[in-house]
Structure 1
Amino acid sequence: MSAVEIEAPVVGVTVYPDRARVTRRGSTRLAAGEHRVRIAPLPLGLRRDSLRVGGRGAVTVLGVEVTTWRQARSTDGQVRELERRKRELADELAEVDDADEVETQRGQFIGQLAERAGGTYARALASGKAAPTDVATFADSVAGQLADSQSRRRGLARRRTDLTEELAAVERQLKATDGKREPDRLAAEVTVAVDADDAELDLELTYLVDGARWQPSYDLRLVDDTMTVTWFGLVSQETGEDWPECVLQLSTARPAAATGVPELSPWYLDRVRPAPPMPAMAPASFGALPPPPSPGAAPAAAAGAAPRSAPPRPKVRESVATVEQGVTAATYRPARPVAVPADGSAYRATIAVLELPARLDHVTVPVRAAEAHLRATVRNTSAHTLLPGPAAVFHGADFVAATRLKTWAPGEETELALGVDDRVRVERKLGRRADTRATLGSTRRREVEYRISVANHTPQAATVEVRDQLPVSRDEAVVVRESTLVPPPAERTELGELTWRLRLGPGESGEIAMGFRVELAKGVELAGWRE
């Protein structure tokens, strides 16, 4: 049985969220008889049970064997040259530092010499032993030597800067080669035993590897009533083999901090129970939203802009991936072949650009915060199922929020918070409170009424969703009765949550009155009350 080694480069990669399927192809001519066809090197971490062999030719596959192959350490001449240059630069930097230290000491010596000589010349001039010209000559000499020393130090500083920058560049190049060299020390090899009939063999090898992934990310840009969703796929891998420019596919199949509107929690009332003590209710927390985009004027036209009569230039287009829809997953192929090195760096491919209709309104929860959040409700009218991933939200050209999309199916709506809109003013006040005792029996009552006012100071009509709540009793001795709900809420839940929707024109205001009373049986102390 003869041994044959063929080259089978990577021709295609399908990347899953947590792994990748790699396809290699190679060709060779086989004489009649049995042969052992060897393909190496392959990544050491390939899943051996995933290995599949196929192809074309009058050949019968007798067996497949995967073994570990110890590859010689890389002898890349470029790497050796970079390491040599790194050593040279380090030596030159040390020489520059030594020369700078010598010049520093020289300057200090000249300065001390001039200081001591100054006193000697002063006495010599007083006694007539030295002429003024002698002093001037000495001073000029000292000044010239100091100037030369400072000039040399400036030259050394420039030299140090140049050497440091070059050394940093060499270190970056060496670091870039590390990911390519290290996995080559230990690799896998595949040996395919075949029986050939004097034929041309086109061999195809596929296998799964860990250490590869793709993750979705999004840009969500709202302009008027349209949300443009740009869907990106970030591909990275540390499988031990570089992927050259080949057919790259991103599959949604799985072989294996955000912003939002504050949410209401149930408001319970109960009697005080001394034993055991009731745990204090923690108020529901909510994420702070970034401020809304400041309404500024449109930027001035740049000098030299085209005249008004010139036709507008088309927008820059993005190449998007083609899609193959399966039963439970989709596979996306970027518009052009790409190379992905095995150093963990991410390659970003544009999967799709979607124009989706958006509906804008405001949401406020004044019992938590007297502010209105601008909200976009967007329906996925595309055929794509968008996967969970981080998203950057833009309102026009302004970045307003960082959020995370959940799985977004076709036809499904999702809500996006666009920040606090200070042009919609909200106020919640306690209008009335009374504590009384019934004339018959010992029943006590506590009655309150709140007034919520909403003012629209935007230049267009606005729909404002107002959320509040009534308390819910947990004990039959504590009875909650609503007294005033004007206007009636559009929605309510069994947990006391109330929702109004106010339609306000520019400059208009609306008001909601909400009142209730709490009746307590004899001897019952109220727990859980809040204003």
Structure 2
Amino acid sequence: MTNLEAPIVRVMVAEDRAFVTRSVSVHLEEGEHKFEVHSVTPIVSDKTLLVETNSELVEVIESSVIRTTDLSASAKVQEKNLLDRRVSALENAIRRTRNEKVELREFAPQLFREIGDDAAWGGREQGEWGPLVEHLKAREQGLDAKLRGLESELKELRDKREPSDQAARSIEAAFHLTIQAQAPLTTELRITYCVPCASWRPAHRVSVDGERLRFTGLCYLWQNTGEDWSQVELNLSTERTAQTTSLPRLSADRLSLRDRDEEVVLSTREEAVERLEQGEVSLISTVPGIEDGGDVFSIAAPGRLDLVSDGQPLKVRLFEFEDVARFRHETKPEVLPQILTCSRQTNQSPYPLLPGPVELQKEGGALGTSWLKFTPSG
């Protein structure tokens, strides 16, 4: 089996997943060939794997996802478990130290009141209270030093545990391809598949300079698929395949008479009903989607982008247009005590403006944020 390097060239990110395309040009001799594509995320959806060629003389006989367990990672897993136990022990020690500090601070005012009462009634000599007060001060300073040391050690262990979490992944995946060529030729293989753990959400920026207004369409993009996207063509889609539904076809419903069945069939079933008291929150939640006006469309990001698989948001500029700003002032004292500065603009972009937050800027300075509703093009 021949190793094949098939880099990621194109990605379409939907609301809750991504469709990845790999492409590679390969020379084939006549006959059957077996290839293996490495560096594939193990969370790939097997049933979405599709391999295509640009030649009728090449046939894809078989394509599959093969997952393997890396036995060499067992030591790393043990190291990670040891770090987890050490972190848990440090967190418990920090919690106990903080509780002891709280008890000490609650005891100190009571002690000082008792000293004052004792001095007023002519009790113990003042010198008898001194060692106890000094002991409390030394104890508090010791707890502060201990707490700083524990927090510093905890930070070091957490920093060490982050790369260990990545290294402890012992499952690897690869594509196994079987291809039949009818004649010697060079062809292009396109491998497409779907992966979860990728999402995007729209955002906007409005900049005003004098009487000119510049509107910039942005988006925030996240991905933690296990594959780094390097210099890829990016398309953003409002499609949400997890909630794809279609209305049933209407057909004629013909009514007819039939004899009543004498046999009675009884069936039972169990249902789990979630009951919420006042103030409780349901554990079942859905990620808010993108309002696209009921029409699924895609937006192509300009240029090529790099996005690593770390789950951190990346802001991407999609499009922009300029227009003349026509401002007016409005007031609605029954709703807001402020005077509003308003401007009506025409959406000159080729795409609808999706609902999302808006960054407001004026002459290079930040004014605040607002919210935009769905606005069709034009």
* TM class by smaller structure: 0.5 to 0.7
CA deviations 1:48-107 (Å, max 9, x no partner) are 356132378x97224133345353478187665554445446567778979x99xx9xxx
Match for residue 277 of structure 2?
Answer: none
Match of 2:228 among 239, 243, 259: 243
Question: How far apart are residue 22 of structure 1 and its match?
Answer: 1.3
> Does the 8 A contact of 2:48 with 2:192 survive in 1?
no
Equivalent in the alignment of 1:358: 325
Unaligned runs of 5+ in 1: 105-138, 257-327, 413-531
Q: Which residue of 1 aligns with 2:18?
A: 20
Correspondences of 1:494-505 after superposition (within 5 Å): none
For the structure 1 residues 29 and 368, does the alpha-carbon distance in structure 2 shift closer, same or farther, using more than 3 Å as the test? closer
Q: Which residue is 2:372 aligned to?
A: 404
Between stretches 204-213 and 359-368, larger displacement belongs to: 359-368
Query: Counterparts of 2:361 and 2:315 in 1: how far apart (Å)?
Result: 23
**Counterpart check, 1:345 vs 2:312:** yes
Equivalent position amino acid for 1:407 in 2: T
Q: Which residue of 1 aligns with 2:357?
A: 391
CA 1:79–1:49: 2 relative to 1, 3 Å: closer
Counterpart-to-counterpart distance in 1, 2:231 and 2:329: 48
Q: Deviations over 1:455-497 (max 9, x none)?
A: xxxxxxxxxxxxxxxxxxxxxxxxxxxxxxxxxxxxxxxxxxx
In 2: Cα distance, 1:348 partner to 1:90 partner: 35
For 1:66, give the aligned amino acid.
Answer: S
CA contact (8 A) 1:66 1:190 kept: yes
Q: 2:91, 2:154 within 8 Å by CA — same for their partners in 1?
A: no
Q: Secondary structure of 1:154's match?
A: helix
The corresponding residue for 2:107 is none
Aligned equivalents of 1:369 and 1:92: distance in 2? 50
Instruction: Tell me how far 1:226 sits from its aligned partner.
Output: 2.5
Contact map agreement 1:392 1:399 (CA 8 A) in 2: no
CA separation of 1:369 and 1:209: change in aligned 2, threshold 3 A: closer
Q: Is the 8 A contact 1:6 1:27 kept in 2?
A: no
Give the distance between the partners of 2:68 and 2:318, measured in 1 at CA: 39
Q: Does 1:374 align with 2:341?
A: yes
Deviations 1:282-305, CA, capped at 9 Å, x for gaps:
xxxxxxxxxxxxxxxxxxxxxxxx
Mapping for residues 418-429 of structure 1, pairs under 5 Å = none
Say which is worse superposed, 385-394 or 366-375, in terms of deviation: 366-375
Shift of 1:394: 2.6
Q: Quote the offset at 1:365 in angstroms.
A: 6.6
The one-letter code matched in structure 2 to 1:54 is T
Distance, in Å, in 2 between the alignment partners of 1:405 and 1:356 is 19
Structure 2 counterpart of 1:36, which letter? K
Structure 2: distance between partners of 1:177 and 1:344: 17
State the partner residue of 1:325.
Answer: none
Q: What is the rounded CA distance, in whole Å, between the counterparts of 2:86 and 2:339 in structure 1?
A: 64
Please say if residues 8 and 39 of structure 1, whose CA atoms lie closer than 8 Å, have aligned partners that are also in contact: yes
Supply the distance in 2 between the matched residues of 1:28 and 1:71 (Cα, whole angstroms). 29
CA shift, 1:198, in A, is 7.0
1:333 aligns with 2:302: yes
Name the CA shift for 1:19/1:199 in 2 (closer, same or farther; >3 Å): same
- Aligned residue identity for 2:370: A
Partner of 1:233: 219
> Counterpart amino acid of 1:374?
T
Give the conservation status (yes or no) of the 8 Å contact 1:230–1:353. yes
Whole-angstrom distance in 2 between the partners of 1:251 and 1:93: 42
SS across alignment from 2:345: strand
TM-score (norm. length: structure 1): 0.44
Q: 1:191 aligns with which of 177, 181, 185?
A: 177
Which residues of structure 2 form unaligned runs of 5+?
105-127, 242-296
Query: Quick check: 1:36 aligned with 2:34?
Result: yes
Relative contact order (alpha carbons < 8 A, sep ≥ 6): 1 or 2 greater? Answer: 2
Structure 2 counterpart of 1:231, which letter?
A: G
- Retained in 2: the 8 A contact 1:38–1:192? no
Map 1:14-413 onto structure 2 (within 5 A).
Answer: 14-25=12-23, 33-40=31-38, 41-46=40-45, 48-49=47-48, 51-54=50-53, 60-67=58-65, 69-72=67-70, 75=73, 81=79, 83-88=81-86, 154-155=141-142, 157-168=144-155, 170-171=157-158, 174=161, 185=171, 189-195=175-181, 203-238=189-224, 240-252=225-237, 254=239, 330-334=299-303, 337-341=305-309, 344-363=311-330, 373-381=340-348, 383-392=349-358, 394=360, 396=362, 397=365, 399-409=367-377, 412=378
For 2:8, the aligned partner's letter is V
Larger Rg: 1
CA contact (8 A) 1:180 1:242 kept: no
Cα pair distance change 1:378/1:16, threshold 3 Å? same
Query: What is the CA-CA distance between 1:368 and the residue it aligns to?
Result: 8.1
3-state DSSP class of the match of 1:245? Answer: strand
1:246 aligned partner, one-letter code: Q
Task: List per-residue Cα deviations over 1:386-427 (Å, max 9, x = no partner).
Answer: 431313253634535521231341xx3xxxxxxxxxxxxxxx
Shift of 1:234: 1.2
- The residue matched to 2:312 in structure 1 has which SS? coil
2-structure distance, mates of 1:43, 1:376 = 50
User: How far, CA to CA, are the matches of 2:147 and 2:337 in structure 1?
Assistant: 59
SS in 1 for 2:73: coil
Aligned residues between the structures? 297
2:9–2:21 CA contact under 8 A, matched in 1: yes
Deviation of residue 218 (structure 1)?
0.7
Q: AA paired with 2:307? A: A
Q: Between the two proteins, what is the percent identity of the paired residues? A: 19
Report the CA distance shift for 1:192/1:233 in structure 2 as closer, same or farther (over 3 A).
farther
TM-score by length of 2: 0.58
RMSD after superposition = 5.0
Q: 1:209 & 1:340 partners in 2: Cα distance?
A: 15
Distance 1:217 1:37 in 2: 42
Cα deviation, residue 359, structure 1: 1.0
**Cα distance 1:211–1:190, how it changes in 2: closer, same or farther (>3 A)?**
farther
Contact 1:244 1:339 in 2 (8 A): yes
Question: Residue type of the partner of 1:234?
Answer: Y
